[in-house]
Amino acid sequence: RLIPVLRRIEEKVVLRAISKPSTKPSRNTINIALFFATLGTVFLSGYLQSLDIVGAVMFTGAIIAILGSHEMGHKLLADKHAVEATYPYFIPGLPPIGTFGAVIQQKSLPPNRDALFDIGFTGPLMSFVISIPIAIIGIILSSYTWIEKGSPTLPVPLLFWLIGFVFQPLGAVPPVPTEPWKYLPDPGISLHPVAFAGWVGMVITMLNLVPVGMFDGGHVARSLVGKKAHRFLSYLGIILLVIIWYPMAFIALFFSFYQHPGPLDDVSEPTTLRKLAALGLIAIFILCVVPIYSLL
């Protein structure tokens, strides 16, 4: 019941054998119960948006697909690198989304920086990839509408805007209303619940990629730059969240109090391919970023 921990301390490489932390066996009944509870709350949120059963089912399937692919990406790579991890815990929530996301619990440390990178990298990549076809289908199912000048609208990430530019709703533009507007309204798109789910998937991807603490972006940053630089990036990430999505900044600040344990081997450098893949994550973040102040 010992595990090896390799660290660089000043100019020396130090290998320690430490006691393996005790872990409780996972109870999958909790995962299953939370999953069905989340299905219910997400279905309710979809129904409140569409006011029909089909739309609610489609919204539920889209949200669960995004969250499930994200967390199973973590789980599969954890299994590949022999890191003990639970199945996803889905978290029920309130409308308009119906969930606060999903998490998995890692019960052992990754063997090296490559493994830490892979586990952190795969979740956002999967949710990003799944969000694209969901957004495309949702935009096609959406409808044109007219928006009164000054009315609040949903801001969209660059990727969502590009999808809306290439793929358009199948329905025709309705006639221009004359009442009760005093001025000519602006054309817009009334999002189908599936399109809204695609938007949510991009926001989830963006938030997870912020390089803070135990966020997915934090795992990636920890694997690439090491302990000290990771803490500095965490502070920068919190400042970034204050600017673009301030409610998450409080959660990030809370998690920043816990020191990232790192992998077992924190000396070996990650491969060049993974360093290049990190540039891809930066591009994904840029494509998915949505400042919250534009929601107000």
CA distance 181 to 133: 36
Report the helix count and the strand count for the chain, using DSSP H and E.
Answer: 8, 6
pLDDT tens readout for residues 36-65: 999 999 999 999 999 999 999 999 999 999
Q: What is the model's pLDDT at position 295?
A: 52
DSSP assignment of 53-70, as one string? Answer: HHHHHHHHHHHHHHHHHH
As given in the structure block, the two tokens for residue 155 are 């801001």
β pairing state of 143-147 and 2-9: unpaired
Give 253: exposed, middle or buried? Use CB within 10 Å, 0-12, 13-18, 19+: middle
- State yes or no: cis peptide before 152, omega within 30 of 0: no
Q: What is the model's pLDDT at position 216?
A: 95
Q: What is the model's pLDDT at position 52?
A: 93
Q: What is the model's pLDDT at position 296?
A: 44
Q: What is the model's pLDDT at position 294?
A: 53
Share of the chain above pLDDT 70, in %: 96
Give 258: exposed, middle or buried? Use CB within 10 Å, 0-12, 13-18, 19+: exposed
Q: What is the model's pLDDT at position 183?
A: 65
- Residue among 238, 172, 245 nearest 204 (CA): 245
CA distance 117 to 102: 20
As given in the structure block, the two tokens for residue 264 are 């077992």
Tens-binned pLDDT, residue by residue, of the chain (296 aa): 899 999 998 889 999 999 988 888 878 999 999 999 999 999 999 999 999 999 999 999 999 999 999 999 999 999 999 999 999 999 999 999 999 999 999 999 999 999 999 999 999 999 999 999 999 999 999 999 888 877 788 888 999 999 999 999 998 888 777 665 566 677 889 999 999 999 999 999 999 999 998 899 999 999 999 888 888 898 899 998 888 888 888 888 887 777 888 999 999 999 999 999 999 999 999 999 987 655 54
Q: What is the model's pLDDT at position 184?
A: 67
pTM, two decimals, is: 0.92
Nearest 10 degrees: CA dihedral of 43, 49, 51, 56? -30
Q: What is the model's pLDDT at position 11?
A: 87
